[in-house]
Structure 1
């Protein structure tokens, strides 16, 4: 059986107040085209379909388009809810849709009801579940994410048919996983970590939550990663989806790269260098983080950059902060005069003291303000 594993679409997400919906539609069409042309039997979406529990109407519309195309191609779709999704809203009309081959698994109480496809593979979907929801649903005493997942996976192990390949779909943070800045923490202080050992007995585990593709413990316990870069911490990640060939006794996989409509990159250098390089840059529309190394003040930096790179989203000025050792202000400095504080600030930023002419100008300005 050929299975396509993807996750963390975050439909409706905005990045620096820029809608990513067109970018999302672009890569999702690549997933659909591959699934249809390559004879994929089942598409798994392992949580975080939407970016928030009440998604905007245009995000729901994109999701509807995707499901319709996959359904028309006769491909079974299995969806679980993630921590960003509203489980009850996502599961609306799930019973009716299941009869059409679209299975939305967002009801934790039904996680032990497998979807068996072609009498070959049993799919178990675990909606995002924190310890509180597991205690409430099953009346068991679990206090951590790891204990909750241990309970859920053991339940599946106990009932799984050994004659079938078993696929578990989960949305969690495997201990030792490599996170990105764009992921919402599941809890504070690392208490959300789950051991990969719980998933060892299964034929394949399709994970969601971490946005970088990776595996933990064994190659059959995999995060597909998000289809797009959702933070500048992900600029070096390769975005893809995972295609799994599965039988009761064998497992193989392939990662198919996705080509974004606009990439997400970092540029560094002096302003003039960045502007000159943009003249012949064929990817000027990419989403950019720009770190300028100029050590002097520049007026209207963002406007100058966007004349060449229209999608500059963030600008840093590390060149203005040369003297890292002298940046902290202590209590004594806070009690100093305005003139002395500004003089110290100038030295920290510029890496050199004020000239006599600058000191005179500052003194006159402060006197005028005080008067």
Structure 2
């Protein structure tokens, strides 16, 4: 039996206010191609299918198209759990009826210890799913004294262990932050101000653990306790990550092989650093000029409309940083005298950029006097 493990689709995601729906459709088409090429028998989606609890209609349509291609056209079973971005109640609408089509939506915590049993090629495997649930939800649902994410998750895993069939391979799906995992900027914290991580040790005995939440492909405690990672790079902190899906081969004795298969985006997410003139020259011949970019300018002087100039060659510059301007000033104390000099420097650069000529000595003296008068007026008013 060959399974495909994926997670964190975040359909409907905006990246610096830019819709990624077309980019998501591009990699989901690849996901279906992988399923066909690799003869996948079932698909596991470990949460955060949508990016928010009330997704845009276009995201719902895209999910419907993908699930139709998998369940109806290819007759593949799909098991999905809800993540912290999903609205669990909305996601499981019609879940009881959809089981007949092979779509198993596990988003009701009350059913977490009831497995989905897949029978494929003479092999049976039980799939248990733990949808995202905070400690308060677990405590009220089961009337148990759990005060943090680890205690709540441990309680649920131990309950599942009690229900396992002794003669069948067993897969656990969970949307959680496993202790020691590598996080990125695009993952919404599971809690504010408290411990959100869970231990991997209670999950060690499962044949495979399909995790969701962390966007970088990785494993904890053993190669079989694994995050497949997100479909796309959803922040510039993920620029170095290689996105993909995980193929898992199972037989009657358990996991035989695990392989990470890459997904290739229509546009990469990159970070460029350098002086603006060099970056513009590079952009004129860059074959990937349409990539989503964060640009760090190392120029140590003020530049008029740097974003507009960069977008002439790199149309998808989404964020601009100017560390060179900070370096030029070093670790100056922000006293009034130093601020006056900095203001004069910035005005001088601005004047040169707009007029094409530097300030004359008389102009510099006049501007310096004006800045000093304005500074004294601010001090008098403050």
1:227 aligns with one of 231, 234, 249: 231
Q: 2:190 & 2:365 partners in 1: Cα distance?
A: 52
Q: 1:258 & 1:187 partners in 2: Cα distance?
A: 30
Q: 1:268 & 1:340 partners in 2: Cα distance?
A: 28
Match of 1:362 in 2: 368
Match of 2:152 in 1: 148
- From the superposition, tell whether residues 364 and 223 of structure 1 become closer, same or farther in structure 2 (CA, over 3 Å): same
Report the Cα offset of residue 280 of structure 1: 1.2
The alignment yields a C-alpha RMSD, in angstroms, of 2.3
Q: 1:84 & 1:363 partners in 2: Cα distance?
A: 56
Match of 2:300 in 1: 295
Report the Cα offset of residue 250 of structure 1: 3.4
Residues 113-262 of structure 1: matches in 2 within 5 Å?
113-118=114-119, 120-189=124-193, 191-251=195-255, 252-262=257-267
Cα deviations by residue, 1:33-55 (Å, 9 ceiling, x for unpaired): 11123221110110000000000
Q: 2:195 & 2:367 partners in 1: Cα distance?
A: 55
Match of 2:273 in 1: 268
Unaligned runs of 5+ in 1: none
Following TM superposition, the consecutive aligned residue runs of length 4 or more in structure 1 with deviations greater than 2 angstroms are: 323-329, 339-350, 354-360, 364-370
- Equivalent residues of 1:320, 1:349 under 8 A apart: no
Report the Cα offset of residue 344 of structure 1: 5.5
Q: How many residues align?
A: 361
Report the Cα offset of residue 157 of structure 1: 0.5
Q: 2:292 & 2:242 partners in 1: Cα distance?
A: 16
Match of 2:380 in 1: none
Report the Cα offset of residue 75 of structure 1: 0.8
Q: 1:84 & 1:126 partners in 2: Cα distance?
A: 15
Where 1:206 maps in the other structure, the secondary structure is strand
Where 2:60 maps in the other structure, the secondary structure is helix
- From the superposition, tell whether residues 326 and 356 of structure 1 become closer, same or farther in structure 2 (CA, over 3 Å): farther
Unaligned runs of 5+ in 2: 349-358, 378-382
- Equivalent residues of 1:23, 1:262 under 8 A apart: yes
1:44 paired with 2:49, answer no
Report the Cα offset of residue 306 of structure 1: 0.5
Q: 2:365 & 2:204 partners in 1: Cα distance?
A: 69
- Equivalent residues of 2:344, 2:371 under 8 A apart: no
Q: 1:62 & 1:46 partners in 2: Cα distance?
A: 18
- From the superposition, tell whether residues 322 and 145 of structure 1 become closer, same or farther in structure 2 (CA, over 3 Å): same
- From the superposition, tell whether residues 355 and 199 of structure 1 become closer, same or farther in structure 2 (CA, over 3 Å): farther
Match of 1:70 in 2: 70
Where 1:182 maps in the other structure, the secondary structure is coil
- TM-score by length of structure 1 reads 0.92
Match of 1:343 in 2: 341
Report the Cα offset of residue 362 of structure 1: 2.7
- Equivalent residues of 2:176, 2:213 under 8 A apart: yes
- From the superposition, tell whether residues 198 and 348 of structure 1 become closer, same or farther in structure 2 (CA, over 3 Å): farther
Where 1:99 maps in the other structure, the secondary structure is helix
Report the Cα offset of residue 328 of structure 1: 4.9
- From the superposition, tell whether residues 185 and 328 of structure 1 become closer, same or farther in structure 2 (CA, over 3 Å): farther
- From the superposition, tell whether residues 308 and 323 of structure 1 become closer, same or farther in structure 2 (CA, over 3 Å): closer
- Equivalent residues of 2:340, 2:371 under 8 A apart: no
